[in-house]
Structure 1
Amino acid sequence: MFLDNLPQELFADICTRLPIKSIVHVGCVCKSFHAIIKNPNFITEHINRSVADDKKTQLLLLRYHSNPDNKERFSIRYDDEIFDECMTFDNSYKVWPVHYYKIVGSCNGLICLCDYLSVTSVLILWNPALRKSFNLPMPPTEFSLHDFVVGFGFNSSTNDFKVVRIGNVCNSGNTQTSRVSPEVEVYELSTGLWRGSSAVVPPYEMIPRHCSHVFVKGASHWIAFEKGKEQNRYLILSFDMGSEVFGEMVLPASVANGPKLKMSISLFGESLSLFCYDGDLSGTSERCCIWVMQEYGVVESWIKLFTVDLAQEINKVLGFRRTGEVLVEMGDGELVSYDPESKEEVHVEDFWFQDSSHLDTYMESLVLLDGKDQVSLNRAYCWNKLLKEE
């Protein structure tokens, strides 16, 4: 047989260039092939090749509430001209508003979901390409209900995924509840366990349900603010997944201060971007200014890229496409792709529930194929039964 005489290193190198489905089929041929593709080094090399492949069609992960079947849906789309579907998954077991799986983030093919509205605040790690997922164990610290934020990313120095929770622990007395300093907990995929972190949280506040999250340059980022008597001071708070140290970035002077601003962050390529609306958190906006930090961490490098100003009111800007267009959810739930140069907008889809949408980049990978999910398998249920490909 030809493959019997092929050096293992060469065979592995060839397989790293294959799509996920083909690699999985190869792994089913025999035990030796399966051992090769589930090796952590092979999985890492496959990710590195995927990241370096500029010719590959970019995938986008879209979460929304569908119409008219009232289902929470996760759809992976090709970032092409027609925004075609690659895979679609329904969360048909949990029905809005009892459970709401917000996408915390997507990193190296792994997606972190959090149910902010349930009492237990379930956290899930999910690889759609492999149909594998599991619940993280319950964190040891009980934070105030919905009074926490979550970050998800990758520590390149240890080749490990991390989930971080930042929240307030409340001490309940007989007559009142007093807030104490926020605490930080970190989950590591390699151990399958939560642990406390000694990181000191800066004295800022975040709005958990409205707090967008971005992982870039090895750190998680959120919008935070410092309360003032007449107006708040807004900034970007970061948490380095390697050193587990918090940092902060100043926003452009023209948008850094306000009473109750509606802002979110996203990625523009590999750069941090800021979406600043002219409305507040309570409703729609007439326009949204988009800023980009050209050089990471350099305040002076913020530039105003363009303004999304459409005929209808805007609910929110979801994010960028590779073409430079942006996906925008309108006030009536319509999803449009907007070209800032031509000012043209193209209808993409309609959402049943406003503000149910979320967009993130996605890349297929073999993460969770190497057995790390077995760490938590005996204390978690597999979410795959709830996910159905159409």
Structure 2
Amino acid sequence: MAVIWNPSIRKSVDIPMPNMINNQQYMTHVRFGVRPDTLDPMIVLMRFNWDYLYSVDTVPWLVEVFTLSSRTWRRALCSSSNVLHGHGILFHDKSQVVIGRYIYWLGIYDVDKTVFSFDMVTEECTRVILPDCIKWVDPLGLSVTSISKLRDSLIVIDSNDGEDIEVWVMEPGVARSFTKLYNFKTPDVMHTFLGFRNNGAAIIEIQILDDGYDNKGSVVVYDRHLEHFNPIGLCGLGWSFEAHFYKETLLLL
């Protein structure tokens, strides 16, 4: 069961989820957005059979969509897309960003980091190719890559060591090219990039050492104009902080 909840009007809708399976054989991912031309909330469910990950056959992801107006699940048009065929396709659970008609999320295609996008209007699934300098997958797991948005632009945050951070913006247009906005160095290892304030200041969780243990984190705000980190008084278990975008609306009324 999923719940679409609008806290502004204190109303929610229960959505039955079809065949939600997460085990050693199946991997399931759920995305959510609001179609901008109809203001219709949409849930996108993607499911893949692990048995075919290294198979000689290319079996696509099964993609289903639910719209609040129809109150039914159906197979998405992109289920036959070549983007979702192939080997080594992995999605990151907590990397969703919605900008306009597109839902973006981070993943791996073959051996490269990439950004996937789902068009809520045409139901087309595509890949956004990252610059060569940041699409490499670190086999040691030391690199940190995440996506966010700044105003109406897709942002990719990348670091090879968790301390030297690069901030890239996707330029508007069909080409979907990236330009590096700026880079900065954190006072300690970055656990999680949480997002941006309205003024563009970056919000991140960094590692703090407590009695020699490195599994605690502190949330700080980085002002690139002043080149200053400002702790905001939030500390806790490392990698436990999350921040999400919101927009006030009367949807579900």
* Normalised TM-score (structure 2): 0.81
1:175 paired residue number: none
2:221 paired residue number: 337
1:241 paired residue number: 120
What is the CA distance between 1:272 and its match in structure 2?
Answer: 0.7
1:315 paired residue number: 191
**Matched residue SS, 2:245:** strand
Is 2:144 the partner of 1:262?
A: yes
**Matched residue SS, 1:168:** strand
Change (3 A) 1:338 1:286: same
**Matched residue SS, 2:236:** coil
What is the CA distance between 1:170 and its match in structure 2?
Answer: 6.1
What is the CA distance between 1:238 and its match in structure 2?
Answer: 0.9
Distance in 1 between the 2:138 and 2:160 partners? 12
Distance in 2 between the 1:294 and 1:181 partners? 30
1:286 paired residue number: 163
Looking at secondary structure, tell me which structure has more strand per residue. 2
Is 2:21 the partner of 1:137?
A: no
Change (3 A) 1:345 1:298: same
1:348 paired residue number: 232
Is 2:100 the partner of 1:217?
A: yes
1:56 paired residue number: none
Distance in 2 between the 1:179 and 1:170 partners? 12
What is the CA distance between 1:123 and its match in structure 2?
Answer: 2.6
Looking at secondary structure, tell me which structure has more helix per residue. 1
Change (3 A) 1:142 1:169: farther
What is the CA distance between 1:245 and its match in structure 2?
Answer: 1.1
Distance in 2 between the 1:296 and 1:331 partners? 37
Distance in 1 between the 2:9 and 2:237 partners? 29
C-alpha contact 2:20 2:28 (8 A) present in aligned 1: no
Unpaired runs of at least 5, structure 1: 1-121, 172-177, 280-284, 370-390
What is the CA distance between 1:142 and its match in structure 2?
Answer: 4.1
- Higher CA-based Rg: 1
- Identity, in percent, stands at 26
Distance in 1 between the 2:50 and 2:179 partners? 40
C-alpha contact 1:226 1:233 (8 A) present in aligned 2: yes
Relative to structure 2, which stretch is displaced further, 196-205 or 155-164?
A: 196-205
What is the CA distance between 1:360 and its match in structure 2?
Answer: 2.4
The one of 273, 276, 292 equivalent to 2:158 is: 276
CA deviations 1:357-385 (Å, max 9, x no partner) are 2222222221111xxxxxxxxxxxxxxxx
Distance in 2 between the 1:352 and 1:322 partners? 24
2:213 paired residue number: none
Distance in 2 between the 1:194 and 1:306 partners? 43
Distance in 2 between the 1:327 and 1:182 partners? 34
Is 2:44 the partner of 1:164?
A: yes
C-alpha contact 1:144 1:167 (8 A) present in aligned 2: no
Q: How many residues align?
A: 231
What is the CA distance between 1:150 and its match in structure 2?
Answer: 2.0
Unpaired runs of at least 5, structure 2: 52-56, 209-216
C-alpha contact 1:271 1:296 (8 A) present in aligned 2: no
Distance in 2 between the 1:319 and 1:355 partners? 14
Is 2:61 the partner of 1:185?
A: no
C-alpha contact 1:170 1:180 (8 A) present in aligned 2: no
C-alpha contact 2:59 2:85 (8 A) present in aligned 1: no
CA deviations 1:165-198 (Å, max 9, x no partner) are 1111467xxxxxx995310011111122222224
The one of 306, 327, 342 equivalent to 2:203 is: 327
What is the CA distance between 1:134 and its match in structure 2?
Answer: 3.5
Change (3 A) 1:277 1:202: farther
The structure 1 segments of at least 4 consecutive aligned residues displaced by more than 6 Å after TM superposition are none
C-alpha contact 1:287 1:314 (8 A) present in aligned 2: no
Change (3 A) 1:262 1:147: farther
Distance in 2 between the 1:243 and 1:193 partners? 18
User: What are the equivalent positions in structure 2 for 1:297-316 lying under 5 Å apart?
Assistant: 297-300=174-177, 302-316=178-192
What is the CA distance between 1:124 and its match in structure 2?
Answer: 2.3
